[in-house]
Amino acid sequence: MLKVARDLAGFTAGQGEQLRRALGAKRAAEEIERFYSAFLDGAQSKGVEQTIAGAVFDTLRAFGGYSFPKSHAAAFAVLVYQSAWLKRYHPQAFYAALLNNQPMGFWSPAVIVNDARRHSIKVLPVEVNLSADRCRLEGKNIRLGYNYIKGLGEGAAAKIMVAKEEGNFHTLLDFCKRTQLPRHLVEHLILAGAMDAWGKTRRKLIWELGKLSYREGEFDLVFAEDDLNFPTVTPFEIMGIEYEMMGMSLRNHLMSMYCSYLGKRGILDSARLERCMENTEVQAAGLVVVHQAPPTAKGHHFITLEDEFGFINVVVRPDIYARYRKVWRETPLLIVEGRVQKTRTGDQSRGSTSGSTR
């Protein structure tokens, strides 16, 4: 950027540095405009057409929104190499570390867990007799920690772990009396499946919790079990509750529940899309996990969809985005139709679709 300002518009080193600082300022738009006339005048004095100089300046303005120095790029390159090495040779520790340091980047914990599953690494649920305050390795698997339970902070997790030192928890009453956790946090643990190992349904445990009195100093009142038949919970309901309590579900990917519906209609998953030829007109579907709109993309949006097999990269033209703006922004599951484009790097290919939505 500094070289462009120098060679195209005749900026001095000092002017170039001032422009660079303006691009990174909090009120960048206002700061940059101070250099617009000087840039065009300098370019004109070097024989550059004003339209070309204006287009170059617009590109610099957009680039400034996410640019960084070479030293930053070099530091990132080292981190990328180290991360790739860890993922290749110590994948369990790599995924556990990512899960323990959220939020970071734009991949959600749910996407990280799905990626671990695709690499044959099992992520185990929170379990009151096995979990710790944070995610940890359990053999070749990863055990989720209490840090993934909604509202359960470090203090509450510490209470559980201290109480656990006396031995395993065997019943809901035993857990409540020894931990003295607030009722709503116990409910969150139940709904997240942390007490499934006791062999009772989550609805039954929630019912029992409503009858318990476990504050210190209260009598141990034990009520007879009610002979109630609770309605069966559907997989969709369980998955929805788990997402609410943990931000993820360790069950099959949400898109797997639509395989039959999509297959009958010829709508592709990511694995089948990968096998499609260039320029094939297709329909594909997935869960929205990333939405990007870089300032230099001239109004194009980039959506990443996920299913149980991998990712689908969708390039959305400005007119299509404008027509379906509300859908792109608010709909978690999408069916897209468009034309397959592929880029090849070595032996790896990556497919994407671009076009309209339904």
**Rounded percentage of the chain residues whose pLDDT exceeds 70:** 90
Contacts for 234 with CB less than 8 Å, ≥ 6 apart = none
Identity at 88, one-letter amino acid code: R
Radius of gyration of the chain (CA): 27
User: What dihedral angle (degrees, nearest 10) is formed by the CA atoms of 290, 295, 296, 302?
Assistant: 20
DSSP 289-309: EEEE--GGGTT-EEEEEEETT
Could you give the CA distance from residue 11 to residue 34 in angstroms, rounded to a whole number?
14
Residue 215 reports pLDDT greater than 80 = no
Q: What is the pTM of this model?
A: 0.75
Could you give the CA distance from residue 328 to residue 322 in angstroms, rounded to a whole number?
9
Q: State the CB neighbour count (10 A cutoff) for residue 266.
A: 9
Give tens-digit pLDDT for 70-119: 888 899 999 999 999 999 999 999 999 999 998 887 789 999 999 999 99
pLDDT score recorded for residue 315: 93
> Given pLDDT bands bounded at 50, 70 and 90, which one contains residue 347?
very low
Residue 226 reports pLDDT greater than 90 = no
pLDDT score recorded for residue 16: 84
- Helix count and strand count (H, E) for the chain: 17, 8
Residue with tokens 């300022």: 25
**What SS3 state is found at 136?**
strand
For residue 200, with 0-12 CB atoms within 10 Å meaning exposed, 13-18 middle and 19 or more buried, which class applies?
A: middle
Could you give the CA distance from residue 42 to residue 48 in angstroms, rounded to a whole number?
9
pLDDT score recorded for residue 80: 94
Q: If you count them, how many residues does the chain have? A: 358
**What SS3 state is found at 341?**
strand
Could you give the CA distance from residue 301 to residue 289 in angstroms, rounded to a whole number?
14
How many CA atoms are closer than 13 Å to the CA of 259, on its beta-carbon side?
11
CB of 320 closer than 8 Å to CB of 308: no
Which one, of 357, 358, 355, lies nearest residue 279 by Cα? 355
Which one, of 115, 116, 156, 121, lies nearest residue 138 by Cα? 121
Residue 48 reports pLDDT greater than 70 = yes
Residue 257 reports pLDDT greater than 80 = yes
Could you give the CA distance from residue 86 to residue 244 in angstroms, rounded to a whole number?
31
Sheet containing 141-143: order of strands: 123-124, 141-143, 136-138
Domains of the chain from N-terminus onward: 2-63 (no CATH), 78-246 (1.10.150), 258-357 (2.40.50.140)
Strands (E), 119-168: 123-124, 136-138, 141-143
The two tokens of residue 271 are 């694995």
Round the average pLDDT of the chain to a whole number and report it: 87
Could you give the CA distance from residue 155 to residue 149 in angstroms, rounded to a whole number?
13
Residue 349 reports pLDDT greater than 60 = no
Identity at 254, one-letter amino acid code: L
